Structure 1
């Protein structure tokens, strides 16, 4: 099973710009949402009719929490014909990266080369209930993320997408560039432009640009066209 890497994504994005028609037509980047039990069970048929092409759905958190609405939302998105994947909210202070990757995979976060499943996403960001960097040094945080990422890749054949903010990444990993060649980036920035990216990444694959909008959950955009999005799901 071929891994989804930044190199392959770059090739896909470049290929999507080539057309047999000499007149290049700018296509709107596919829109998506990310949801959790906070939104409840989402009407994905309505979301698709309202322009949504992909979704990330919360599966797990730490090594003890399974989102109670994950299964219903994942099935609903699948039935609506939406390209979808699961995400894991990391708690680097509670257990190892490998432990949490295995928990994520066992509870809906896996990946298969079927053209409709996005690589699982590691949501690594501000601690909602304690120290911003979970009490870890920058080097320890980088090691934890590598442990999660390598375990996920060994099991599924794909590297996980990394969801973060430039501020958190700079503060808590020392602005590590260690993942830019392997892991697609999903940056969160609620503004009219993406702004500076973490070290190593020259572009972001996904952009979470708002926490509310015309569809439930956070609002996202894919950096490419539908062919590129489908290719990432295929691997």
Structure 2
């Protein structure tokens, strides 16, 4: 006589149960949601991978390149780099006419660029005027917290004639909601706290990097920083276009993400002596 073994109830799942279990696993995996609660997808980039202009083409599009040199005032070529570029060939960039550079130092309050030393020191050693930038994630922590993290992570300043003031990179959120879940008033308050903390730590007014469309959407086109903080505007087209409110001129213009040697190329709105002036603290509110 055979003996029938008892089975633990629920051990075998129906097809519907398998599907529900798979869905439950998906939304409990690390990274299933961004820090502000926005659901993440397979297309969401890894935290720490953000860089200047990451959302410009998607949100603002891309037109022609900069106008011919003979049709514009004297400008000075520069680049910005992050961990995506790895060890940069600074000699090649210098020979191509690049005279200044910004290097990503930090992001949020959780990431430091592992290539920062090679990029920051390498650009300096080849003769460039260089500075550091911070990719802001206002949903993660306060403006003061991130400004301190930036300064402690390489974003400080020294009066050596070759170090530019730090940059607050404030733009589209690559990990979730464009404005990081903040109202326009909350965003302005966060930016102000970052800028005030940075100045208290370094004695310098930080540069603001942004795009006009993001600034309009997420700050209500706030005009209160134009008299103190230099503007670095992102627009991939043959003209810089309309500037955010409060700025009558731009100091720097990121005009392409497909430049030679490294992708992101920029124009400083002035000759090299104006770049030096900004480094020395005598050109903070515009070139």
TM-score, length of structure 1 as denominator length: 0.88
Q: Does 1:179 align with 2:225?
A: yes
Which of structures 1 and 2 has the larger relative contact order (alpha carbons within 8 angstroms, sep 6+)? 1
Q: Which residue of 1 aligns with 2:255?
A: 209
CA RMSD of aligned residues (A): 1.0
- 3-state SS of the aligned residue for 2:99? strand
Partner of 1:117: 163
Name the stretch that deviates more: 26-35 or 50-59.
26-35
Q: Which residue in the other structure is 2:273 paired with?
A: 227
CA displacement at 1:114 relative to structure 2: 1.2
Determine if contact 1:116/1:230 at 8 Å carries over to the other structure. Answer: yes
Deviation at 1:103, TM superposition (A): 0.3
Question: Aligned equivalents of 1:174 and 1:212: distance in 2?
Answer: 30
Instruction: Check conservation: 2:240, 2:253, Cα contact below 8 A.
Output: yes
Distance (whole Å) between structure 2 residues aligned to residue 45 and residue 172 of structure 1:
39
Runs of 5+ in structure 2 lacking a partner? 1-71, 282-287
Q: Does 1:55 align with 2:97?
A: no
Aligned partner (choices 111, 125, 129) of residue 175 of structure 2: 129
Q: Distance between the aligned counterparts of 1:185 and 1:212, measured in 2?
A: 22
Residue 89 (structure 1) aligns with: 135
Q: Which 4+ runs in 1 deviate beyond 3 A?
A: none
Distance 1:227 1:78 in 2: 16
CA distance in 2: counterparts of 1:232 and 1:98, whole angstroms: 24
Q: Give the Å deviation of 1:213.
A: 1.1
What secondary structure does 1:140 align onto? helix
Q: Distance in 1 between matches of 2:274 and 2:121?
A: 23
Mapping for residues 141-156 of structure 1, pairs under 5 Å? 141-156=187-202
- Distance in 2 of aligned mates of 1:217 and 1:104: 24
Where structure 1 has 5 or more consecutive residues not aligned to the other structure, the ranges are 1-25
- Higher-strand-fraction structure: 1
Question: What are the superposed Cα offsets for residues 170-208 of structure 1, whole Å, 9 maximum, x if unpaired?
Answer: 000000001001100000000000000000100110000
Show the counterpart of 1:16.
Answer: none
Displacement after TM superposition at 1:71 (Å): 1.1
Residue by residue over 1:125-145, the C-alpha shift from the partner in whole angstroms, topping out at 9 and shown as x without a partner, is 000010000000000000000
Corresponding residue SS for 1:58? strand
1:104-154 deviations in Å (ceiling 9; x for gaps): 000110111111001000000000010000000000000000000000001
Q: Distance in 1 between matches of 2:263 and 2:276?
A: 22
Distance in 1, matches of 2:85 and 2:239, equals: 26
Total equivalences in the alignment: 210
2: CA distance between counterparts of 1:197 and 1:224?
17
Distance in 2, matches of 1:60 and 1:218, equals: 18
Structure 1 residue 27: deviation in Å? 6.6
- Is residue 123–residue 164 contact of structure 1 (8 Å, CA) maintained in 2? yes
